[in-house]
Structure 1
């Protein structure tokens, strides 16, 4: 049996699909927590990190938080594995040519990026569940500082910043063009649910994209100024938005958009894409 056939069987397995649903719910929950922390920052009621680590810390501080973090971590690992099977399925198209090969390469790149994101979030969740964990912002600063010490490190950090900006722009375009509908199977959904999913995805992806652009901008600025303290990640992006003209309003809109994306993930869990 080929790797593509094996990957297809694994991706269609009920066990992995159920775990992936848990992962999508967890992914949505993380975004809702980030949105809540951003709203608190906007209206003067927050002092924690408004990023993934802040969301995990918020969960860990609850009486039921650490057991829930284990579930979140395991679900996100399943989600990463689900995307990994997609990578293997796309490899079959690399032997083709023209548009077919281009589509396969694009599919692989997208799936690998998702694997990295889900695996990172799973690692973060499991660290906080085990009683560890630290600020994502400080981790990014340490990583940037270490990269600066490498030959051509400043250039690498600058390129990374531009890539993140590109990802943000792609997210905005994906939201405006409703390309996210390719990732959810709404064939059994009502027309009203489809409209809700469309609006949630549009708002959510645009807001996430805007946040990514700011994160990438901060990373690029860190490379230009040769100052790793400027690479403050999503938390720094939220503070940067707040300091802009009409910052409180802008940060509130971003927070509501990220919350919309979280709810969109819940719909994805209910109507997962059929691989």
Structure 2
């Protein structure tokens, strides 16, 4: 395979590789903690609640640990590394997606992922520096702003459908095992590859379910013209917990998110960074 430096001439190969690995590791830490706290909230362990299982709640949890500011600062740096790697994938096309409609869509998805994780890195850094807290739910703020625009309910509805389609794609991506491309060519032993495939499948399905619920909450906000109905992962966890057999449903999704975090660790160790 071609050396990644050929595709990213402005950055040494090790620099790009290290950014990717650090970023994937930080993402894995966040998802493992999200899953652990959500699981504890599902079965009322350790006084945890679904409110603390969102990413901002996880950042607060890290902050409250010994040397929390330093640990959260490292997580923020790792998430920033992940965002930069995604931007490199989008701009330099290091994944060889091409410039046709399908390739451009994938590269836009990388860029969107970079924006999301850059925002998370900024939030984590603010908390680590003691400038976080307050501000309300950013998703509710976004929905509130959209609802004030002409055809606002339609705009929120379109956004809701896009989020739900993302969830459907995540589930499809997991069940179809297309994510195996991320580790193809790594020369793994069959038992390691088998573990990665299982962890990835459970992780992508769980992540897809969360996206679907978030999209449904946005759809409710659109239909009722009420921004308070919208929410992020913590709201999605609360919705699952309040459903039939909620503790078990939320517990299963939480375990899936832990698997997703573990899959990120395994990708950081084994994935050829120059492949998708």
- TM-score, length-scaled by structure 2: 0.89
Aligned to 2:203: 204
What root-mean-square deviation, in Å, do the aligned CA atoms of Structure 1 and Structure 2 show? 2.2
- Report how many residues are paired: 266
Poorly superposed stretches of 4+, deviation over 4 Å: 4-7
Q: For 1:61-107, what per-residue CA distance to the aligned partner results, in whole angstroms no more than 9, with x for missing partners?
A: 1122211121111222121111212112339933xxxxxx1332132
Measured after TM superposition, the shift of residue 5 of structure 1 is: 7.9
Where is the helix percentage greater, Structure 1 or Structure 2?
A: 1
Q: 1:185 to 1:137 in 2, by over 3 A?
A: farther
- Stretches of structure 1 that go unaligned for 5 or more consecutive residues are 95-100
Which residue does 1:21 correspond to in 2? 21
Instruction: Give the equivalent residue in structure 2 for 1:195.
Output: 194
Conserved? CA contact 2:163–2:215, under 8 Å: yes
Q: Secondary structure at the match of 1:245?
A: coil
CA distance in 1, matches of 2:109, 2:137: 27
Q: Which residue of structure 2 aligns with residue 98 of structure 1?
A: none
- Distance in 2 of aligned mates of 1:269 and 1:136: 33
Matches within 5 A, 1:45-64: 45-47=47-49, 48-64=51-67
- Is the Cα–Cα contact under 8 Å of residues 83 and 112 in structure 1 kept in the other structure? yes
Q: Which runs of 5+ in 2 are unaligned?
A: none
Tell whether 2:73 aligns with 1:73.
Answer: no
2:229 match: 230
What does 1:1-275 correspond to in 2, within 5 Å? 8-10=8-10, 13-44=13-44, 45-47=47-49, 48-90=51-93, 93-94=98-99, 101-134=100-133, 138-185=137-184, 187-275=186-274
Report the alpha carbon displacement of residue 231 of structure 1 after superposing the two structures with TM. 0.5
Per-residue deviation at 1:157? 1.2
8 Å contact kept, 2:20–2:273: no
State the TM-score, normalized to the length of structure 1.
0.90
How has the CA–CA distance of structure 1 residues 23 and 92 changed in structure 2, closer, same or farther, with 3 Å as cutoff?
Answer: closer
Matches of 1:204 and 1:136, distance apart in 2: 30
Task: State the alpha-carbon separation in 2 of the partners of residues 38 and 64 from structure 1.
Answer: 23
Q: In 2, distance between residues paired with 1:7 and 1:66?
A: 36
**Structure 1 residues 41 and 266 mapped into 2: Cα distance closer, same or farther (>3 Å)?**
same
CA gap of 1:115–1:15, structure 2 versus 1, over 3 A, is same
**Which SS does the other structure have where 1:9 is aligned?**
coil
Q: CA deviation at 1:19?
A: 2.6
